[in-house]
Amino acid sequence: MISAYDLASRDVGGFSDPYIKIRCGENTFNERDNYVLDEPCPWFGTHYDFQSTFPGCPPLEIDIMDYDDLFGDDLIGSTQVDLEDRYFQAEWKALKNKPVEYRQIYHPSSAVSQGVCKMWVEINPAKVAPDQVEPLWDISQKPKQEFELRIAIFDTKDIKMMDAEGTSDVFIRCFFDSNNACETDTHFRCQTGKASFNYRLLFREKYPRKDYRFNLQAFDRDFFKSNDIIGAALLDLKQPLEDAALTNRPLGINKKYYEQYMQEASGVEFEWKDDSSFWLPMNSKNDQGQLENNGYVRVQMDIVPADYADKNKVGAAREEPNANPFLPPPIGRLSFSLNPCKMFNQLVGPEMRRKVYCYGCLIICLAVCILLSIYVIPSAIGAIVAGWFTGK
């Protein structure tokens, strides 16, 4: 049985179209017609039977190739298996179930591994027909499992103010693939960095998949130009998806699970609010190209098998059924008022308000001075002069 993962790319597009070639002496197998399109982790799921003689058996050579119908196929990497070493090794022959091997593959032009080949080898007497060897393992690829990824977006803290008036119109966008992105509603005129959402995003995804990187981005919404990105976090969800597939049970990414199984591979350091929700840092590059933090978004993530999700539905956003977790209406949102002062305080940030108040006071003082200089001061001077001449 042979499969592979983390294969190096040989195509400009970023992925290879891998297939395998196997040689052992005069025995050759070529799977060029069965290449896998655009897949860095192909599952070949095939086995090969051939006869050889011990001692004198040549090495088993495995080449993983990149299919190309125009310019010729390229070698991604290869590995050689010493069959005689296994056949004459008492410890290996004593094993009832032969071990699965993870073999690095290499290209002649580089000393760096080009990926991993997963396989195992069995050597049986020629008098025993291949279909009579016990056990006959089922190595066919399992069908993809469908899951519902439930993301609860609660709130933010320390979000950067992106607008000139000292506010941000914050919304959160999440996706595995940008073509299937989901967004929260918008917290308009956020002034404190604490945008409130309490909004559930639902994704239907299949395992296994090519890319396990989940993107979570914070934006400032603009109506007359493109939205400004505040920051983003990138999570590797391969481990929890794999665990949910193995157990076929709902899996919540809680504090205990993160610390025991996910911390090293997640790519992001979580800051926990409680046992089930955590703060994700929203990072972006500044004008100097350096990564800086522009705030945090608090989320809860659950991975639920599709059949369980269909029987235990939850509503998107804050729709019914609103459970696991219950999401109350957001707080601190913009509210309409006939009081112009209240509306002004909601639409303009505190720093900008202070500037407006200062400029307003300055303008009033300047107007008073001008009025005094035009009306009051000349009248006072005229009265004083008249008094001098009249003696009063």
- Mean pLDDT is lowest, of 45-49, 106-110, 187-191, 270-274, for 45-49
The listed range with the strongest mean pLDDT (8-17, 69-78, 226-235) is 226-235
Report the topology of domain 2-132: Immunoglobulin-like (2.60.40)
Q: Residue 293 in contact with residue 281, Cβ under 8 Å?
A: yes
What does the block give as tokens for 374?
């035009």
Tens of pLDDT, residues 67-78: 988 888 999 999
Highest mean pLDDT among 44-48, 209-213, 282-286, 337-341: 282-286
pLDDT of residue 387: 73
Q: CA–CA separation, 154 vs 298, rounded Å?
A: 6
CATH code of 145-336, in short, is 2.60.40.150
Split at pLDDT 50, 70, 90, the class of 267 is low
Closest alpha carbon to 195 in 376, 45, 332: 332
Spatial contact of 203 and 214, defined as CB atoms under 8 Å apart = no
Using only the alpha carbons of the chain, give its radius of gyration: 34
Average model confidence (pLDDT) across the chain? 88
User: Per-residue pLDDT tens for 332-386?
Assistant: 998 887 888 777 777 887 777 777 778 888 888 888 888 777 877 777 777 776 7
Residue 46, both tokens: 């095939």
Question: The whole model's pTM is what?
Answer: 0.72
61 or 44, which is more confident? Answer: 61
Quick one: pLDDT at residue 178? Answer: 85
Sign (positive or negative) of CA dihedral 333, 297, 231, 6: negative
Nearest CA to 162 among 77, 90, 83, 220?
220
Residue 91 CB coordination number (10 Å): 7
Q: What is the DSSP string of 172-193?
A: EEEESSGGG-EE---EEEE-SS
> What's the whole-number mean pLDDT along residues 214-233?
93
Average pLDDT (155-168) is 92
Q: What is the pLDDT of residue 277?
A: 96
Asked if the model's pLDDT at residue 12 lies above 60, the reply is: no
Average pLDDT over residues 195-219: 93
Q: How far apart are CA 217 and CA 284, in angstroms?
A: 10
Q: How far is CA 26 from CA 49, 128, 195, 382, in A?
A: 13, 21, 69, 123
